[in-house]
């Protein structure tokens, strides 16, 4: 399987070359072009029983990922091609998961993965909801390549110690990092006054991918200018 | 204070390296990620009444964020809309920004809000401008890419497209043509600049994007 990122910058897309017998999984709807010998099977597909089925699909939907995933295979002996594009404008990164650790990926950031990776959702728990943040991460384990998309420029940071991140900026991170919700400032008052409110505090050692821009913030800027929903 | 800007022109981001005891100010909500133990406080710049004025006139937050780190750390900031992050060093001089363009500054820079005029107020664009003066580093942003233009004489600019300008320029707010033109061309109000100095313009506006999206919103 060969993965190429085209249009690097604001409007990236991924072009994947599949060999017969290989499988690629992507979020449903990401497909925009492909060779005619590629079959697309849309389902609540997952590698093992654990991450398939209705309840798993629901969990994924709650993680803000589409309910369905698409599975691509070649239907003849030739190589096939699949072009994938995210909904948001921004960059795409290919994360090589070598199996030494699992990865956690935010719902909106998951674009595609090779078949050696198992996809499951992990709930942040009630705490996530009380703060108004929806914090379900998709957990990715196994070996293979994970494609993630970001709103804006992707920053790859090696955390060794600690890092504080505004929640809307997380794309994906290694599960060797511990994370918990915390206040941005030392007091709730200042967290509110500075409009930073709740942040994710990461501790440990591992890689984290961050997106420069926060889709929610852009939504809040643009939303009020649009007419009311009736 | 060391800083670096990446991601321009589409997704500008500003990373500031603070040394022990150094502090700087940024608009609220701009923090994307930062080292742990960065001290973050909300501050009313210019005192209560000036801050209240900013809030009443343009809906800007009463507070700006003040960042400091006891032993040195970094903070990465981004604007809420995709675009370019710009930097300007002020040496006991001033520079004027439109309301939403302010991003961050070092403490030597004072921010003063100036009312854009009643015409601008009613058009909801350019309702107020921020005059930044003093010595230090100033960071501001645009929606989309930015064009720098030298004005020597006069220049007419559509309201929503102005990001910032040098103090050598003065401006008047005018209607574009007749009322009919205003209503049908969607051009609304324009700023007529005169004098000599640089002006920074953005080619896209959030209002323009929202007008384009509006027909698609589901009833």
DSSP label at A90?
Answer: B
Using a CB–CB cutoff of 8 Å, tell me whether B33 touches chain A: yes
What is the spatial order of strands in the sheet that A110-114 belongs to?
A38-43, A69-74, A24-27, A110-114, A144-149, A92-97
Does the model's ipTM exceed the 0.90 cut?
no
State the nearest Cα–Cα gap between A216 and chain B, in angstroms.
9
* B29, B33, B145, best to mutate vs chain A, most A CBs in 10 Å: B33
Using a CB–CB cutoff of 8 Å, tell me whether B93 touches chain A: no
| Architecture category of domain B2-204 in CATH | 4-Layer Sandwich (3.60)
Is residue A98, in this structure, part of any structural domain at all? yes
A161-200 pLDDT, tens digit each: 999 999 889 999 999 999 888 888 888 888 877 888 778 8
Parent domain of A202: 2-225
Question: What average pLDDT is seen over chain A?
Answer: 82
Q: Let me know: does B166 contact B174? Beta carbons within 8 Å.
A: no
Is residue A230, in this structure, part of any structural domain at all? no
pLDDT at A47: 37
Q: Let me know: does B11 contact A137? Beta carbons within 8 Å.
A: no
pLDDT at B111: 86
Q: Which residues contact B42 (CB under 8 A, 6 or more apart)?
A: A185, A189, A190, A192, A193, A194, B28, B63, B64, B65, B66
Judge whether residue B203 has pLDDT over 80. Answer: yes
Write out chain A residues lying below 8 Å of B34, CB-based.
163-164
CATH of the domain at A64: 3.60.160.10
pLDDT at A225: 80
Percent of chain A clearing pLDDT 70 (strictly above): 82
Q: What is the CA radius of gyration of chain A?
A: 18
Candidate from B7, B35, B39 with C-beta closest to A153? B7
When pLDDT is averaged across residues A75-98 and rounded to a whole number, the result is 92
pLDDT at B34: 94
pLDDT at B195: 95
Least confident of A26-30, A93-97, A148-152, B193-197: A26-30
Question: What average pLDDT is seen over chain B?
Answer: 84
Is residue A49, in this structure, part of any structural domain at all? yes
Band of the pLDDT at A125, cuts 50, 70, 90? very low
Using a CB–CB cutoff of 8 Å, tell me whether B183 touches chain A: no
pLDDT at B33: 94
Structure tokens at A3: 């993965």
Contact B206 A221 (CB under 8 A): yes
Report DSSP letters for A100-141, one per residue.
SS-EEEEGGGEEEEETTEEEEEE---HHHHHTT----EEEEE
The values of phi and psi at residue A134, to 5°, are: -95, 115
Which among A85, A68, A82, A72 is positioned nearest to A149, based on CA atoms? A85
State the nearest Cα–Cα gap between A151 and chain B, in angstroms.
9
Judge whether residue A128 has pLDDT over 50. Answer: no
Q: What are the residue ranges spanned by the domains of chain B?
A: 2-204
A22-38 pLDDT, tens digit each: 999 998 889 999 999 99
Judge whether residue B127 has pLDDT over 70. Answer: no
Which among A66, A57, A63, A69 is positioned nearest to A117, based on CA atoms? A69
Is residue A33, in this structure, part of any structural domain at all? yes
Judge whether residue A16 has pLDDT over 90. Answer: yes
Q: Let me know: does A214 contact B78? Beta carbons within 8 Å.
A: yes
pLDDT at B15: 96
Burial class from Cβ neighbours inside 10 Å (0-12, 13-18, 19+) for residue B133 reads middle
Give me the number of domains chain A comprises. Answer: 1
Which among B44, B38, B40, B43 is positioned nearest to B17, based on CA atoms? B38
The values of phi and psi at residue B48, to 5°, are: -60, -50
State the nearest Cα–Cα gap between A203 and chain B, in angstroms.
9
Residue of A nearest to B30 (CA): A196
Using a CB–CB cutoff of 8 Å, tell me whether B70 touches chain A: no
Least confident of A90-104, A179-193, B97-111: A179-193
- What is the residue whose two structure tokens read 């918990």? A180
Burial class from Cβ neighbours inside 10 Å (0-12, 13-18, 19+) for residue A11 reads middle
Interface of A with B (CB under 8 A): 9-10, 89-90, 151-153, 155, 157, 161-166, 169, 184-186, 189-196, 199, 201, 210, 212-214, 217-218, 220-222, 225-227, 229-230
Band of the pLDDT at B17, cuts 50, 70, 90? very high
B163-198 pLDDT, tens digit each: 999 999 998 887 766 666 555 555 567 888 999 999
Judge whether residue A50 has pLDDT over 50. Answer: no
Is residue A184, in this structure, part of any structural domain at all? yes
């Amino acid at each position: 399987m060969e993965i190429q990122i085209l249009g690097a910058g604001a409007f990236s897309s991924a072009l994947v070359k599949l060999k017969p017998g290989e499988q690629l999984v992507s979020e449903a709807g990401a497909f925009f072009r492909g060779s005619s010998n590629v079959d697309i099977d849309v389902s609540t597909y997952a590698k093992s029983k654990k991450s398939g089925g209705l309840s798993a699909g629901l969990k994924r939907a709650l993680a803000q990922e589409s309910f369905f995933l698409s599975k691509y295979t070649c239907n003849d002996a030739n190589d096939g091609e699949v072009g994938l594009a995210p909904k948001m404008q921004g960059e795409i990164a290919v994360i090589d998961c070598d199996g030494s650790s699992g990865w956690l990926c935010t719902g909106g950031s998951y674009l595609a993965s090779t078949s050696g990776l198992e996809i499951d959702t992990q709930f942040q728990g009630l705490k996530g909801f009380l703060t108004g943040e929806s914090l379900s991460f998709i957990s990715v384990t196994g070996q293979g390549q994970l494609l993630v998309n970001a709103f804006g420029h992707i920053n790859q940071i090696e955390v060794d110690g600690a890092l504080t991140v505004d929640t809307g900026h997380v794309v994906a991170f290694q599960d060797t990092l511990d994370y918990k919700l915390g206040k941005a400032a030392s007091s709730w008052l200042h967290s509110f006054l500075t409009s930073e409110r709740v942040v994710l505090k990461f501790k440990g050692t591992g890689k984290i991918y961050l997106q420069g821009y926060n889709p929610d913030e852009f939504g809040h800027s643009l939303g009020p200018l649009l007419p009311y929903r009736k | 204070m060391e800083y670096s800007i990446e991601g321009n022109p589409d997704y500008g981001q500003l990373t500031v390296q603070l040394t022990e005891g150094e502090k700087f100010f940024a608009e609220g909500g701009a923090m994307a990620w930062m080292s742990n133990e960065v001290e973050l406080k909300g501050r009313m710049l210019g005192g209560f009444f000036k801050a209240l004025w900013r809030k009443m006139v343009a809906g800007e937050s009463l507070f700006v964020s003040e960042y400091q780190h006891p032993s040195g750390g970094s903070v990465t900031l981004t604007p809420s809309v995709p675009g370019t992050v710009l930097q300007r060093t002020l040496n006991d001089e001033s520079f004027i920004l439109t309301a939403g363009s302010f991003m961050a500054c070092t403490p030597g820079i004072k921010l003063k809000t100036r009312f854009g005029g009643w015409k601008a107020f009613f058009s909801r664009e350019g309702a107020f401008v921020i005059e930044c003066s003093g010595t230090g580093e100033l960071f501001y942003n645009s929606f989309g890419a930015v064009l720098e233009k030298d004005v020597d004489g006069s220049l007419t600019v559509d309201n929503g497209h102005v990001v910032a300008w040098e103090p050598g320029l003065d401006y008047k707010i005018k209607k574009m043509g007749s009322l009919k033109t205003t209503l049908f061309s969607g051009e609304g109000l324009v700023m007529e600049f005169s004098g000599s100095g640089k002006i920074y313009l953005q080619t896209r506006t959030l209002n323009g994007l929202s007008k384009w999206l509006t027909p698609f919103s589901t009833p």
